[in-house]
Each structure stands twice: as structure tokens, then as C-alpha cells.
């Protein structure tokens, strides 16, 4: 099956109360770990490429890897998304490169400007059968080039449910990333967060059937933080979004959940463990391989947290 956009995925996710995992990829091992998990669990898949990933690995290499994923897994619907495109020109470039979904993030701009920029991207993308995600409100934390609001200010920058109807009507956007108290990075919170489920519910009532997206949703799994710290790392007080909260959101109007930090932690933890336990090791296959397996196990777990395991066929 060729690459698909997310329309059918989100339709079925909303209808049946689950969310699709959107996993950021930077190299072959990360991508293999993700698809190996997804193939075994028969789940739909969104692979995301950020501007940082493109700078690191070049889009031509990443697209070639993803083309192999699609060719070797005809029973798995796969969408490829630009994560946090900051301008129309960036989104246009990724549309022209064959992406099936792009995100335009103009959330830091005034509301009217966010509408104008998003509408421009939507008009260009829709003419080429590409779907568009936009953002309302602002997240906290830092991820590559994306710098969010300060941690203490997250609750002051939540998505405003009173803006969503106007925003969607004027832009024609296909899905909406809404700030509900999540944050980018491994150090999301100083204490366990309380996500604004009331915001999700109010938006769902105003836009019934419309798919929402959670960014900054890695759980910063303790097993990987502990491994990193055990083998020479220094990640005290790393804290993410509780998986129970992610599962609850996935049963509501949230149809896409972004996961990046947990992939990095799984890979890094296993590499550190191999280096510490076998310090003479210099074969990349002997440390990247265990890292890939750690990613696979983590992603399999996440697919059940999101509820999308076994849902590939209905999303085709």
C-alpha cells in the first residue's frame, strides 16, 4: 500500500475511541524499531520528520527508509508528517517532497495571523491531497528548534475553546494540536501534571467529530531514565505525561499523540548500558541493535496505551 494521509485513520480513531501514535524518526534504527513493533501489533502508523531530523539525515535518506517501510508492510497504513513546520515555505517544501501530512505551527503568532498562515498552507496542501495540522495555544518545554512557554506559565497558554470554531471554519484545517498542559522534552514538569481534559471536552462539543492532537506527550519512562543514570547519565527529576492521562485523552477527541522523547531515551539507555557492560565494544551493530530492540518494546507498549494495537485493517 502506498503512503496514505491521516483522514481515514482519524475518522476511525475518533469513532472507536483510540489514538494513532505519531513517532519522530531520525535514522534507520529508530525507524526499524518503530515499524517492527507496529507490524507485530497490526497498528496504523504516523512517522514524523522534524526540521532537525531533516538537517541531520537529509530528507532523501529518511524518505528512502520510509519507502522501504511501506513496501515491506503492505498491510500497515503509514502516513508521513512534517512536525512543527514554522512557515508556509517549509510546509510547501515538504508537500512537494511527497509528505502526506504537514503541520503548520503559527501558534506563537496573533490569532488572526495564525489563521492567515494556516489557511495559506491548507489551500496549497489540499490541492495535492495532503492534510494539514495546526496548533492553538502554546506548549511548554524545548524540542529542537521549538521553544515553548516557561513551565510555570503552561496553564496560562492553553487552547481557548471559544476560538476553535472560527479557526477551523476560516482555515479548513484537518486536525488541531491543542495545548492542554503538556510540554516538550524530558523535563516537562516539576510535579505530576493535571491535563486540561475539560478543554478537550469543550472543544469536542463545539467541533463534534473533529480530530485533536496531543504534542509533548512522551511519558519519560522511569526504566530508561534509571538506566541512563545508572550508566553514567545525569537526568535527575525527568518527568513526563502519565500514561493513564494519555489513554484517557485517546478515548476522547484526541486522535494523534506525538512521541519523540521516549524514543530517544530508549535508544540512549541501551547504548549506555552496552558501553558500560562491554567497554571494549566498538561495533555499532552491537549497540545500535539493542537500542533498536528497546525502541521496539517501548513502541509495542505505547500502542496499547493509545488503544490502536490491532486497528491497522480498519484504517486502510
pLDDT digits (tens, 9 = 90+) for 49-76: 988 898 899 888 999 999 999 999 999 9
In the chain, which stretches have pLDDT less than 50? 140-144, 146-154, 187
From the centroid of its chain, how far is CA 175? 13
Q: How many residues belong to the chain?
A: 316
For the stretch 129-144, pLDDT in tens is: 999 999 998 664 444 4
pLDDT given for residue 156 in this prediction:
54
* Active-site position among 83, 174, 260, 262: 83
Beta strands at 254-259 and 212-214: parallel, antiparallel or unpaired: parallel
Q: Which CATH class is domain 7-315?
A: alpha beta
Spell out the domain ranges in the chain. Answer: 7-315
Residue with cell 510546509: 91
What Cα–Cα distance (Å) separates residue 28 from each residue in 17, 55, 78, 285?
Answer: 31, 15, 16, 12
pLDDT given for residue 165 in this prediction:
97
pLDDT given for residue 181 in this prediction:
77
> What is the CB neighbour count within 10 angstroms for residue 142?
14
pLDDT given for residue 141 in this prediction:
42
- pTM (2 d.p.): 0.91
pLDDT given for residue 51 in this prediction:
82
Residue 75 designated active-site: no
From the centroid of its chain, how far is CA 188? 15
The H or E element containing residue 147 is strand 146-147
Grid cell of 264 as nine digits: 530517544
> What is the CB neighbour count within 10 angstroms for residue 1?
12
> What is the CB neighbour count within 10 angstroms for residue 77?
27
- Rounded Cα–Cα distance for residues 145 and 224 (Å): 24
Query: Could you tell me if 85 and 102 are in contact, meaning their C-beta atoms sit under 8 angstroms apart?
Result: yes
Terminal CA-CA length for the chain: 9
Nearest alpha-carbon partner for 76 in 7, 4, 142, 125 = 4
Per DSSP, 190 falls in state S
Per DSSP, 79 falls in state E
Q: For residue 24, what are the β-bridge partners?
A: 48
Nearest alpha-carbon partner for 27 in 52, 2, 1 = 52
- Rounded Cα–Cα distance for residues 69 and 253 (Å): 29
Beta strands at 20-24 and 254-259: parallel, antiparallel or unpaired: parallel
Amino acid at each position: 500500500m502506498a503512503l496514505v494521509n491521516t483522514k481515514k485513520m482519524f475518522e476511525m480513531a475518533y469513532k472507536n475511541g483510540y489514538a494513532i501514535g505519531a513517532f519522530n524518526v531520525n535514522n534507520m534504527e529508530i525507524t526499524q524499531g518503530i515499524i517492527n513493533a507496529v507490524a507485530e501489533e497490526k497498528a496504523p502508523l504516523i512517522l514524523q520528520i522534524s526540521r532537525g531530523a531533516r538537517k541531520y539525515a537529509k530528507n532523501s535518506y529518511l524518505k528512502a527508509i520510509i519507502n522501504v517501510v511501506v513496501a515491506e508492510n503492505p498491510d500497515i497504513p503509514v502516513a508521513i508528517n512534517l512536525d512543527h513546520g514554522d512557515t508556509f515555505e517549509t510546509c510547501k517544501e515538504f508537500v512537494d517532497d511527497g509528505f502526506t501530512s504537514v503541520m503548520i505551527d503559527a501558534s506563537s503568532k496573533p490569532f488572526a495571523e495564525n489563521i492567515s498562515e494556516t489557511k495559506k498552507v491548507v489551500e496549497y496542501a489540499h490541492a495535492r491531497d495532503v492534510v494539514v495540522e495546526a496548533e492553538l495555544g502554546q506548549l511548554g518545554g524545548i524540542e529542537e528548534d521549538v521553544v515553548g512557554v516557561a513551565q510555570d506559565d503552561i496553564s496560562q497558554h492553553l487552547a481557548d475553546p471559544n476560538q476553535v470554531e472560527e479557526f477551523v471554519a476560516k482555515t479548513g484545517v484537518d486536525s488541531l494540536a491543542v495545548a492542554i498542559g503538556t510540554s516538550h522534552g524530558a523535563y516537562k514538569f516539576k510535579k505530576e501534571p493535571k491535563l486540561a481534559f475539560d478543554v478537550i471536552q469543550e472543544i469536542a462539543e463545539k467541533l463534534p467529530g473533529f480530530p485533536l492532537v496531543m504534542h509533548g506527550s512522551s511519558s519519560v519512562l522511569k526504566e530508561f531514565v534509571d538506566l541512563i543514570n545508572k550508566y553514567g547519565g545525569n537526568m535527575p527529576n525527568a518527568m513526563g505525561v502519565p500514561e493513564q492521562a494519555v489513554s484517557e485523552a485517546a478515548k476522547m477527541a484526541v486522535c494523534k499523540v506525538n512521541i519523540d522523547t521516549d524514543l530517544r531515551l530508549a535508544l540512549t539507555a541501551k547504548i549506555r548500558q552496552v558501553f558500560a557492560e562491554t567497554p571494549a565494544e566498538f561495533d555499532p551493530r552491537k549497540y545500535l541493535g539493542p537500542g533498536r530492540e528497546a525502541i521496539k518494546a517501548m513502541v509495542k507498549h505505547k500502542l496499547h496505551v493509545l488503544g490502536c494495537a490491532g486497528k491497522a485493517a480498519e484504517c486502510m
